Amino acid sequence: MWVSSSSLRERKVLVKEMTQVPEVYVLGGYQTDFARNWSKEKKHFVAMMREAVKGALAETKVEPGEIEVAHTGNFAAELYSKQGHLGAFFLEIDPAFSGLPTSRHEAACASGSLAIQAASAEIEAHRYDLACVVGVEQMKTVGAGEGGDFLGTAAWYELEAKGIEFPFPKLFGKLGDEYDKRYGLKDEHLAEISTINYANAKLNPNAQTRTWYMNYDHAMSRDEFNGTIGGRIHISDCSQVTDGAVAVLLASPEYAKKWADRNGVSLSDVPRIKGWGHNTARIRFEDKVAESANDDYVLPHVRSTVTSALKRAGIADVSGIDAIETHDCFTTSEYMAIDHFGITAPGESWKAIEEGDIALGGKIPVNPSGGLIGAGHPVGATGVRQLLDGHKQVTGQAGEYQVEGAKNVQTLNIGGSGTTSVSFVIGT
């Protein structure tokens, strides 16, 4: 017998209270243009890593020789590019990286956040003062069907994906079905989530869909241009197949102080990772749902990730957060995130959608960047992209998708069908 989900969560609360979060500073970073197709450019993914890392170094005015450790987040280069050992590719970026300690981290779509977690832990443990984290995924090396099959390995492949066309849209369709069963769910609300993400993406110069056509009417259309991919999930409900890399530099207080001094900024204006949450649920979707049958939340471990990040940040609840970058691999995942963040009571995400709370300019903008649906979803890069967008928001550098006066931004990055969840609170 498995222990009940509620007792699992209680154990995590104890861990949480014993944890002090030392300071990890985010100096800045760089995102490649997610509209690019690197296979059409005939490039190896190392070109993408290189542009992201070089861009991050230029953006932060840090010399490559200053980097002490490097972490790569990547889901499935073995499948997409028949290449493993991605940490080692750092040494192909700059000769100054010769000898650098590197590693690669994988937890499906949460791989990027796991790389950030590892780098943060090393900084907190005083092993290193300055880490470079890059999230990278080159997905357009294969066609949609084959890519969909590769993504199926983020689920329990043999039980949930093998021989199934586009397994993930179907799994997240089931998430919608579970909401429908417990609380009711309308397509209109999912269409509105899609509309908002695409609209925000038009303001983001790195967003994959920034020139694409989308509005509520199209998201609600059901003909061949917006066909079903799996149950209630239509094309407009899906995130994109994306090539992209994002790099961020994380620093200890000691390095951050030096860095702030030499750049003429106050340390208190350099954003920090104020809190983090990280949980894992059983990999099979039906097991997760069975465990949460008596819970208010459909994915209680996701809820726990969100609340533990807030608690570590010393923020009482989501009202202390100014914007959210969440994991909208499908509209149903964002629908789930809305109540799991506590924006509404469980099952009432539709209220925040109808009130306009999650739109840019609303009470709590969700995915001002456009999220995975609008900005794109290069799987291993997404968690890093979310943190970088949080950094842009809290430093007032998000351009046209800036949330006015944002001080604290929270991310939520999810691997699999709600399996591995990681959340960060970034703020100044």
Binding site for another protein (CB under 8 A): 32-33, 35-36, 40-44, 46-51, 92, 202, 205-206, 210-211, 213, 215, 217-218, 221, 223, 225-226, 399-400
Minimum CB–partner distance for residue 93 and another protein (Å) = 8
CB-based contact 312:274 (threshold 8 Å): yes
134 versus 289: smaller Cβ distance to another protein: 134
Q: How far is the CB of 57 from another protein (least distance, A)?
A: 14
Q: Least separation, in Å, of the C-beta of 198 and another protein? A: 12
Is residue 139 helix, strand or coil?
coil
CB 297 within 8 Å of CB 340: yes
| Least distance in angstroms from the C-beta of 163 to another protein | 29
CB closer to another protein, 211 vs 268: 211
Query: Which DSSP string do the residues of 379-412 spell out, in sequence order?
Result: GGGHHHHHHHHHHHHHTT--GGG--TT--EEEE-
- Shortest distance, position 213 Cβ to another protein, whole Å: 5
Query: Phi first, then psi: what are they for 212, rounded to 5°?
Result: -85, 160
- How many CB atoms neighbour CB 101 within 10 A? 14
Question: Of the candidates 382, 418, 337, 375, which has an alpha carbon nearest to the alpha carbon of residue 155?
Answer: 418
Q: Rounded to the nearest 5°, which phi and psi values hold at 105?
A: -125, 140
Other CB atoms within 10 Å distance of the CB of residue 21: 18
Smallest distance, Å, CB 140 to another protein?
Answer: 13
| DSSP character string of 64-93 | GGG--EEEEE-S-HHHHTS---GGGGGGGT
Tokens describing residue 337: 């995130």
Q: Which is nearer to another protein, 54 or 182 (CB)?
A: 54
Beta carbon of residue 40, minimum distance to another protein (angstroms, whole number): 7
Considering beta carbons, is residue 42 or 82 the nearer one to another protein? 42
Largest CA distance in the chain: 58
CA–CA gap between residue 62 and residue 78 (Å, rounded)? 31
202 vs 363, which CB is nearer to another protein? Answer: 202
CB of 164 to another protein, least distance (A): 26
Q: Which residue, 57 or 154, has its beta carbon nearer to another protein?
A: 57
User: Closer to another protein at the Cβ: 120 or 204?
Assistant: 204
Q: Which is nearer to another protein, 188 or 261 (CB)?
A: 188
**What whole-number distance in Å separates Cα of residue 29 and Cα of residue 403?**
19
Q: Which residues contact 208 (CB under 8 A, 6 or more apart)?
A: 34, 35, 201, 240, 242, 244, 374, 375, 376
Q: Which amino acid is at 321?
A: I
CA distance 371 to 364: 14
Residue closer to another protein by CB (options 215, 280) is 215
Tell the smallest beta-carbon distance from residue 44 to another protein (Å).
5
Query: From the CB of 294, what's the least distance to another protein, in Å?
Result: 42
Distance CA(424)–CA(428), nearest Å, equals 13
Q: Considering beta carbons, is residue 24 or 52 the nearer one to another protein?
A: 52
Q: Identify the CA nearest to 386 among candidates 327, 316, 307, 303.
A: 327
Q: Provide the 10 A C-beta neighbour count for residue 52.
A: 27
